[in-house]
Amino acid sequence: RDGEYESHLWRRPLGGGRGRQLTRGRVRDGSPEISPDGTRVAFIRSRVGEPDAVGQAWILPLDGGEPWPLTSLPHGVSGVRWSPDGRRLALVAQAGDQRFIVGEERKGRSPIARRITRLDYRDDESGHVTRRAQLWVVPVRPGATPRQLTSGDHDVIHPAWFPNGSRIAFAADRGPDTTIQPRLQLWSVGTEGSRPRIRELASLAGDADRPALSPDGRFLAFVGTDVADPPDDEAPQLWIVELPSGRPRSLTAGLDRPVGEWAWCDLVTAEDRSGPVWLDDGSLAILVGHRGRNIPYRVTVDGTAEPMLDPETRIAAAGIAAAGDAVVISAGLDGSAGELWTLAGGQLRRLTTEGSAWQRRFPGVEITELALDGPGGPIQAWVASPVGAGRRRLPTVLHVHGGPTGAWGPGGTMDAMALCGAGFRVVMPNIRGSATFGSSWVRELRRGWGSVDAEDAMATMDSMVERGLADADRLSVMGLSYGGFMTQWLIGVTDRFAAACSENGVANQVSAWGNSYFGVHYNRRAGLGDPLSDAGMRALWRSSPLRNASNVRTPLLMLQAEEDRICPPADNEQLFTALRVLDRTVEYVLYPDEHHEMRTSGRPDRRIDRMERILAWFRTHARRP
């Protein structure tokens, strides 16, 4: 409302019935956690329209009382977890002196300088990482003072209580420079005493994250990889360790599928709930990426893993929760925006309608799954078409996902909705390099970006034209991040596209290695390498769209978030400069204050402007017969 986001808490009975709105006002309420006895909700609230507003922990009685603030920490709160007895909350909140600051930094006045000695001084959302997120605990009563449990030059994430309340598990990278060699591991800290002790809980050669304790406290489950500096084709697995000192063992190694949320859809969200949840002392539920879907699996502690519904269900699931016998997922089906569903006996039952009600105001979209011919094997593609289009030949947009180890799912996207409403068909292929199809499909991309992935992208359009679904004279291409790279790459090696839109792309792999806040370790894990040798420099340049700039004839719209530190403006401006010097049709649009995922979380008026520009560009250059 008024160009700002608002969000409120709602309550819906698991057995069905009408939902009831619990909070109101000019606020953003989120991250709700129900107390163990079911009488209260802890959540994070920030005030809309207040400059520099930060989120704080609030408590809402479910008997009809008013919510009240539990914390007033100066840098806000980013996560809350109830203790098993419901008397305390674990909090994640920033603490400590500012890092790298010379002189004083205060509102309206910048510091003298930033003296930087580590590469982890920046990230995409925060910009300069001036303070670290630490773990706190606070009694749930008005006026209580939070107590800090951890410290140090590292961030704490994903806290999980031990069932007896004596300790809290968490993930943290306590290494010397997390940007060069990141390695999350699992730790625990005591909740009593003046100097809580931190112990290592579990470690793998790669990463270990998202801890979850079994109800009886016997097992610790988590997500991780047991390969040092894991490459992109090393799928995260579900692991378990018997406490206090057992060895970790994988429960999903035989699946050859990554656990977690991998198939992407911006119409569904679940606020970071894709980790494991315990169903009882001997089994867990977790999402598994499978053929362009996120499928809930039941996994037992002896390593039996089975899908909880038909793996071919056209579902875009983003999160999973369990309480007692109830399993609830946040998911969209067949292009629908996210709703809550209960899952039992392999069947889904819809709980909510509020998440997708807004879609009724817009033209519908039909989602079709196709297996298209590709040089490396069939390419799964989700095709979004205007309702009633049937098999008519339409102007068609190739939409390339990010990652490159992301994947398109069957839920559709807001971009696809808007483009279909304007008369376009949108094809979203899971080309080689995409996750959810097994490690060998991802490993193919080790040959370099712009190789087998580009072959599959063009084969996708060839197949769409051959099937009579796409007009060969009115093809367009678009994508964000890696999808932006692929857009820039394709128009430098073919002139088949009538229009293109790249968003936060990667035009020069050589400079991106240093300009991206995680370029050093990302390039290594993606197999791109580094520019520290002549051979490495040549390899990066081979995968840089900038080197093909003189071949570009396709009109290109370049969208760029000005504060993007993943794919920074400095790299994409090189391509814009080259195309202007070459007098090609190109337009560069910078969005102030925005970050990498502006399309889903940017300021509303900027998201609207973005979509209107894409539609206008494609209408102008590719829509006309």
3-state secondary structure of 365: strand
Residue 552: give its domain's CATH number. 3.40.50.1820
Residue 311 in any domain: the answer is yes
What integer pLDDT is reported at residue 386 of this predicted model? 95
Predicted structure pTM score:
0.94
577 token code pair: 């400069």
Note whether 33 and 115 are same-domain residues: no
Strand partners, 295: 288
Q: How far apart are CA 539 and CA 144, in angstroms?
A: 57
Q: Please state the φ and ψ torsions of residue 311, each to the nearest 5 degrees.
A: -60, -15
Domain count, the chain: 4
Q: Please state the φ and ψ torsions of residue 488, each to the nearest 5 degrees.
A: -65, -35
Residue 161 in any domain: the answer is no
- DSSP alpha helices (H): ranges in 468-568? 482-493, 509-515, 519-526, 534-542
What integer pLDDT is reported at residue 80 of this predicted model? 95
Residue 610 in any domain: the answer is yes
Residue 338 in any domain: the answer is yes
Q: In this model, does residue 625 exceed pLDDT 70?
A: no
Q: Which of 83, 116, 141 is the last residue of a domain?
A: 83
Q: Which of 311, 339, 361 is the last residue of a domain?
A: 361
Q: In this model, does residue 136 exceed pLDDT 60?
A: yes
Report, as an integer, the average pLDDT of 252-281: 88
State which of 229-233, 257-261, 273-277, 547-551 shows the largest mean pLDDT: 547-551
Q: Which 8-state DSSP code applies to residue 65?
A: P
Q: In this model, does residue 624 exceed pLDDT 60?
A: no
Residue 223 in any domain: the answer is no
148 token code pair: 């800090």
Percent over 70 (pLDDT), the chain: 99
Note whether 387 and 488 are same-domain residues: yes
What integer pLDDT is reported at residue 2 of this predicted model? 66
Exposure of 51 by Cβ count < 10 A (0-12 exposed, 13-18 middle, 19+ buried)? exposed
Note whether 342 and 274 are same-domain residues: yes
Note whether 351 and 372 are same-domain residues: no
The label of the residue with tokens 């291409």 reads 477
Q: How far apart are CA 462 and CA 141, in angstroms?
A: 64
Strand ranges in 499-596 using DSSP code E only, listed in sequence order: 499-503, 556-561, 586-591
Note whether 426 and 565 are same-domain residues: yes
- DSSP alpha helices (H): ranges in 320-383? none
Residue (of 625, 600, 595) closest to 122 by Cα position: 595
Residue 65 in any domain: the answer is yes
Residue 132 in any domain: the answer is no
**434 and 441 in contact (C-beta within 8 Å)?**
yes
Q: In this model, does residue 309 exceed pLDDT 50?
A: yes
Confidence of residue 268 (pLDDT cuts 50, 70, 90): confident
pLDDT 10s digits, 369-428: 999 999 999 999 999 999 999 999 999 999 999 989 999 999 779 999 999 999 999 999
- Residue 624 Cα to chain centre, angstroms: 35
Report, as an integer, the average pLDDT of 571-590: 97
Note whether 305 and 439 are same-domain residues: no
Q: Which of 336, 361, 386 is the last residue of a domain?
A: 361
Residue 388 in any domain: the answer is yes
Residues 6+ apart with CB under 8 A from 444: 376, 432, 433, 452
What integer pLDDT is reported at residue 109 of this predicted model? 84
Note whether 353 and 374 are same-domain residues: no
Note whether 343 and 382 are same-domain residues: no
pLDDT 10s digits, 89-102: 999 999 887 888 88
pLDDT 10s digits, 9-31: 999 988 878 889 999 999 999 99
Strand partners, 397: 426, 476
Exposure of 38 by Cβ count < 10 A (0-12 exposed, 13-18 middle, 19+ buried)? exposed
Note whether 296 and 380 are same-domain residues: no
Note whether 118 and 8 are same-domain residues: no
Domain hosting 263: range is 251-361
Q: How far apart are CA 526 and CA 445, in angstroms?
A: 8
Report, as an integer, the average pLDDT of 563-574: 91
**Strands 219-224 vs 237-242: parallel, antiparallel or unpaired:** antiparallel
What integer pLDDT is reported at residue 320 of this predicted model? 93
Residue (of 355, 526, 363) closest to 433 by Cα position: 526
Note whether 109 and 19 are same-domain residues: no
pLDDT 10s digits, 345-372: 999 999 998 888 888 888 889 999 999 9
Note whether 346 and 393 are same-domain residues: no
Q: Which amino acid is at 496?
A: R
- Residue 301 Cα to chain centre, angstroms: 28
pLDDT 10s digits, 484-533: 999 999 999 999 999 999 999 999 999 999 888 778 878 888 888 889 99
